[in-house]
Structures are given as structure tokens and as C-alpha cells.
Amino acid sequence: MEIPVRIVLVEPTHPGNIGATARAMKTMGLSDLALVAPKHFPSEEATARASGADDVLGNAAVTATLPEAIGDCGYVIGASARLRGSKWPVIDPRSCAESIWRRLADNRVALVMGPEHSGLNNQDLGRCQEIVHIPTNPEFGSLNLAMAVQVLCYELRMCRLGSSVAAEETRAAPLASAEELEGFHEHLERVLAAAGFLHPVHQKQLRLKLRRLFHRARPDRNEINILRGIVAALDPAAGHTEGRGPA
Amino acid sequence: MEIPVRIVLVEPTHPGNIGATARAMKTMGLSDLALVAPKHFPSEEATARASGADDVLGNAAVTATLPEAIGDCGYVIGASARLRGSKWPVIDPRSCAESIWRRLADNRVALVMGPEHSGLNNQDLGRCQEIVHIPTNPEFGSLNLAMAVQVLCYELRMCRLGSSVAAEETRAAPLASAEELEGFHEHLERVLAAAGFLHPVHQKQLRLKLRRLFHRARPDRNEINILRGIVAALDPAAGHTEGRGPA
């Protein structure tokens, strides 16, 4: 999935950050990088830090000014480490991603990052329709440039993937049926009674607790068979024949 | 806003990544860093890359093994660059953050990151209740270690700043610590061996399966005590005295 959003670094001073930015972009599926008056570029350090994203570096556009880098873009967002609440509309990276995807079909979009130490100046911020701010620790807002790009690109990707790619572990077998679960619990309870572990007083409470615990684990059929095998192997009523393997 | 989540780096090889991790943590309000057998630490490069987060580096715990680093944690999540779809339940950074905030009130929580090149091995993954995967570009998944920490910590912060998260089932007791879980697994494995159920061939596979099953259930301290009591009661090596109750 290619994410056609341009990342623009304005006057980056550390080549390492240029490389790390290229790498961050590529891990999230972005490849359009523009550099405005970079202090050192190309550079070995940038290539080293890109560690494999050389193509992004190689295709990077280098311009003298910001207007040249964003001239063809219909939607331009500037990143700011400071909350300029009074002066500019500020959005967080998640709203930024949503706002970008809403416009991507019809517009070229650029995310503009300022120089490491000063950030974007007011003239450059004035060229942006919106300002994105990553909510950092008020006592320590020193977010590295490439780290900020990573977070912004990550949100773009998450937004595209839909809020969650959370996958339930795929099972080797279907979940155990209620009947199979019941069979296991009855078996376990028989064996615990035989071992004198379940006595009348605690019985009801304990049964409930064990059911809650094992149901939370959502055992599949294989796992229930393993558990049945264990209970059988540990049944004091049954003699323990050596070398019995899992069911 | 301090976010009391421990970041654990297992055998980090590049000091720069340790420093960048400390910086990433502090920008998001985290400060509890643990280093398991770091190749070089302390180091000038780590301090340089921390650029101001020296306190996080200075307070970092250095341990020889992962169990020492997570022993007091009730909820342990491992990060993996690979989607181990078949083997482990995998969540994305957003669900991971929600899941952590649901448990933070009652539990110590650790986020475990593997070595740069290999990632966490299966034994270490077996010590985690859940696996978080950052959805990277399938053609270029090479996410830098500190970048991954930045993204995970960013989601923790966003989640905290964002709305309240539905609380999970209320427990009578805090979740069992990694140490307590390990103690239970060792006890169970001893007893299964004594019963001739665990034999060398299946052993490794079976151990992994049992860990996955019980970790999915996220047992609390009471439940682990019940399980220990059951295993003790069913230990063929021990005589079965009648009427023994739950521990």
C-alpha cells in the first residue's frame, strides 16, 4: 500500500535525520521526500541511517525554497512542536491523518517539518493550511525530527488500514464446544474430588473460579485434549503408567 | 502525566538505540527503562542520543536476564516485527495501549523489545501474555528499535489523553506476576514429568502450548494459587492426603 503523501524537511541540519526520515517513511509505505536547502546532502551518514531506504533518498527532490517543494500541493500541513493555539488551528496526528485521507483523492498533500532546532518560522507556517502537533510531555518536548515523521506516517498508515489490525491468534483447531468444555470441567472436578482437593464447602465457589479462568483462555479443541490428557495422567484413581504422552 | 510502564530492551546491540529509546520514552512521559544484557552500557553514544533524557538512562535497571527485568510485572507484552499469526495472539499498538491502561491501576506493566537483528526468541515470547506488532510496509518492515518504542509510547500517551477506556473484568486480586507464572509453569512441568506425561519428544512443543493457553487466561494471584494447589494435590510424587482444600 503506497501512501502518496510528500514529507518535506525544511533546512534539516543533521544528515542522520534525513536518512532516518527516509527509513521511517518507507516502513510506513511513503516514498515522496522533499528536502529544502539541506545543510549536507547527499551524505554517507544519511545513507547509513536510511538502512535500506536508499531509494527514498535517491528520489528525494532537493529545492532551494519551501514554495518550490509544495507548489503542486493542494493540502499542506505544517508540524509544530509548540502549541500555537492562539495563532493557528492545531490538530493532533490522528485527526491529521484522517484529514489527509479525506483530501488525498483530489489533492497532492504535503507534511512539512521545520529545522531541528527552531522549527518552522511564521512565514513557512503561513504557507500551511493546518498545523499538526504531536502531544509530547510538557516537561520534555524534545522529539527527534525523524521520530516525529515516524509517528505522523504511522498514523497515516493506521488510518488507511482502518483503526485496528488486531488479529486474534489463528488457531490450529476450532474453539472447544460448550459440550467439550463441560466434559473437561466434569473430568477435572471428578479428579480433584478423588484427590480430596474439592470438598463440599469450597466446591461451588472453586468450580466457578476454575470455569471463569479456563473460559477466559478460550481453549480450542487441541488444547482441551491436552488438558484432558493432563487430568487423566494426574488422576490418582488411575495408575500412572510411565511414558504416557499427550492425547 | 507520568506513564508508569516499563520499557525493556533485551540485548540491545547499538548504544545509540538505547539513548534514542530513553529520549523517545521521556517525550511521551515514560521513565522506567530496563536493559537486559546490553552490549555496551553505559556509553557516550547512548548519552549523546538521549539528548536530555539522561535521567532515564541514569535510572535504567540493568539485568542479566529477562525474568529479572519483568519479575514484578503482572502484564507483559512483547513486541514482534513478524506477524506470528499461527503462534501468538497479535494486537496493534492502539489495542496494546488500551489493554495496558485497563490493567495499569492494579498491575506493573512491561513492554519488551527484542534485539535489533533477531527480535525476541520463542523462549522470551513465551514469557509475554501478548504480542504487539506495528503494522509496517510488508515490503520494508525494517523499523528502528527506538522508532518502535516511540510509536508504542505515543499510543500510550494518546490513549491516556483520549477518552476513558472500558475497564476489564474486575479481579479479586492483581494479575499474577511473571515470576509467579513462571513458578506455576515450572511446578506443572515437574509434576507432568513425574506422571510421565511430558516426554522429551513433545516436551518443548507442549510447554509452549501450555504457556500460550494459561497466558491467554491472564490468571490473577488467587487463580495462580488455586492452580498451584491443584498441581500439588495431583502430584503423583506426593501422597494424596484426603480432604486437602484449596491453597
Q: Do A39 and A155 belong together in one domain?
A: yes
Count how many Cα atoms sit within 13 Å of the Cα of residue B126 in the half-sphere of its side chain.
Answer: 14
Pick from B19-28, B61-70, B226-235: least confident: B226-235
**Mean predicted confidence (pLDDT) in A54-72:** 95
The answer on pLDDT for A164 being more than 70 is no
Q: With contact defined as beta carbons under 8 Å apart, do B135 and B152 qualify?
A: no
**Mean predicted confidence (pLDDT) in A74-92:** 78
Rounded to an integer, what distance in angstroms lies between the CA atom of residue B73 and that of residue B108? 5
Angle between helices B221-233 and A200-216 (to 10 degrees): 110
Alpha-carbon gap: A183 to the closest alpha carbon of chain B (Å): 18
Q: Do B47 and B108 belong together in one domain?
A: yes
With respect to residue A67, please indicate whether it lies within any of the assigned structural domains: yes
**A interface mutation test: which of B154, B208, B209 has the most A CBs within 10 A?**
B154
Number of domains in chain B: 2
pLDDT of residue A205: 81
**Residue A47: which residues within 8 A CB-CB, separation 6 or more?**
A19, A54, A57
Pick from A60-64, A159-163, B42-46, B164-168: least confident: B164-168
pLDDT digits (tens, 9 = 90+) for A103-157: 888 888 999 999 999 999 988 888 888 899 999 999 999 999 999 999 999 999 9
Residue contact A218–B219, C-beta within 8 A: no
Task: Look at B150 and A246; give whichever has higher pLDDT.
Answer: B150
Rounded to an integer, what distance in angstroms lies between the CA atom of residue A131 and that of residue A79? 6
pLDDT of residue A237: 81
- Look over chain B and give the mean of its residue pLDDT values, rounded to a whole number: 88
Residue contact A223–B229, C-beta within 8 A: no
Task: Look at B170 and A100; give whichever has higher pLDDT.
Answer: A100
Classify burial at A148, counting beta carbons within 10 Å of its beta carbon; exposed 0-12, middle 13-18, buried 19 or more: buried
Task: Look at B33 and B177; give whichever has higher pLDDT.
Answer: B33
Q: Do A53 and A144 belong together in one domain?
A: yes
Q: Do B112 and B152 belong together in one domain?
A: yes
Q: Domain boundary at A133, A162, A191, which?
A: A162
**Nearest Cα residue to A154 out of B166, A146, B202:** A146
pLDDT band for position B226 (cuts 50, 70, 90): very high
With respect to residue A245, please indicate whether it lies within any of the assigned structural domains: no
Q: Domain boundary at A103, A138, A162, which?
A: A162
Q: B193 — contact with chain A (CB < 8 Å)?
A: no
pLDDT of residue A9: 98
pLDDT of residue B87: 64
Q: SS3 of B175, please?
A: strand
The answer on pLDDT for A179 being more than 50 is yes
**Mean predicted confidence (pLDDT) in A8-35:** 98
Interface predicted TM-score (ipTM): 0.78
Q: Do A77 and A152 belong together in one domain?
A: yes
Site of grid cell 502450548: B209
**Nearest Cα residue to B1 out of B156, B212, B116:** B156
Q: SS3 of B244, please?
A: coil
Q: Would you state the cell numbers that stand for residue A244, as one nine-digit string?
A: 504416557
pLDDT band for position B170 (cuts 50, 70, 90): low
With respect to residue A71, please indicate whether it lies within any of the assigned structural domains: yes
Max intra-chain CA distance, chain A: 85
With respect to residue B168, please indicate whether it lies within any of the assigned structural domains: no
* DSSP per-residue letters across B55-122: HHHHT-EEESSHHHHHTT-SEEEEE-SS--TTTS-EE-HHHHHHHHHHHHTTS-EEEEE--TTT---H
Counting residues of chain A whose pLDDT is more than 90, the rounded percentage is: 56
Q: A233 — contact with chain B (CB < 8 Å)?
A: yes
With respect to residue A168, please indicate whether it lies within any of the assigned structural domains: no
Q: Do B221 and B158 belong together in one domain?
A: no
The answer on pLDDT for A200 being more than 80 is no
**Mean predicted confidence (pLDDT) in B101-105:** 90
Question: For B62, phi and psi rounded to 5 degrees?
Answer: -115, 120
Count how many Cα atoms sit within 13 Å of the Cα of residue B57 in the half-sphere of its side chain.
Answer: 26
Q: With contact defined as beta carbons under 8 Å apart, do A41 and A18 qualify?
A: yes
CATH number (domain holding residue B211): 1.10.8.590
Angle between helices B15-28 and A145-161 (to 10 degrees): 70
pLDDT of residue B129: 87
pLDDT of residue B123: 87
Q: With contact defined as beta carbons under 8 Å apart, do B158 and A135 qualify?
A: yes
The answer on pLDDT for B166 being more than 60 is no
pLDDT of residue A170: 62
CA A148 to chain centre: 14
Q: Do A124 and A203 belong together in one domain?
A: no
pLDDT of residue A219: 87
Q: Do B123 and B35 belong together in one domain?
A: yes
Alpha-carbon gap: A65 to the closest alpha carbon of chain B (Å): 29
- Residue among B20, B141, B223 whose CB faces A27 most closely: B141
Alpha-carbon gap: A102 to the closest alpha carbon of chain B (Å): 21
pLDDT band for position A102 (cuts 50, 70, 90): confident
In whole angstroms, how far apart are CA B51 and each of A14, A26, B26, B29, B55? 14, 25, 11, 15, 10
Q: Do B20 and B132 belong together in one domain?
A: yes
- Look over chain A and give the mean of its residue pLDDT values, rounded to a whole number: 87
Q: Do A145 and A188 belong together in one domain?
A: no
Q: Do B190 and B70 belong together in one domain?
A: no
Alpha-carbon gap: A82 to the closest alpha carbon of chain B (Å): 13
Task: Look at B146 and B106; give whichever has higher pLDDT.
Answer: B146
**Mean predicted confidence (pLDDT) in B188-195:** 90
Site of grid cell 484522517: A98
Chain A hits for B214, Cβ within 8 Å: 217
Q: Would you state the cell numbers that stand for residue A228, as one nine-digit string?
A: 484432558
pLDDT of residue A241: 47
Q: Do A9 and A128 belong together in one domain?
A: yes
Q: Alpha-carbon torsion B179, B184, B185, B187, what sign?
A: positive
- Residue among B28, B142, B245 whose CB faces A52 most closely: B142
Residue contact B196–A142, C-beta within 8 A: no
With respect to residue A75, please indicate whether it lies within any of the assigned structural domains: yes
pLDDT of residue A135: 93
A87: alpha, beta or left, given left = phi > 0 and alpha = psi -120 to 50? alpha
**Domain of residue A152, residue span:** 5-162
With respect to residue B167, please indicate whether it lies within any of the assigned structural domains: no
CATH number (domain holding residue B73): 3.40.1280.10
Counting residues of chain B whose pLDDT is more than 90, the rounded percentage is: 63
pLDDT of residue A93: 95
pLDDT of residue B239: 61
With respect to residue A104, please indicate whether it lies within any of the assigned structural domains: yes
pLDDT of residue B162: 76
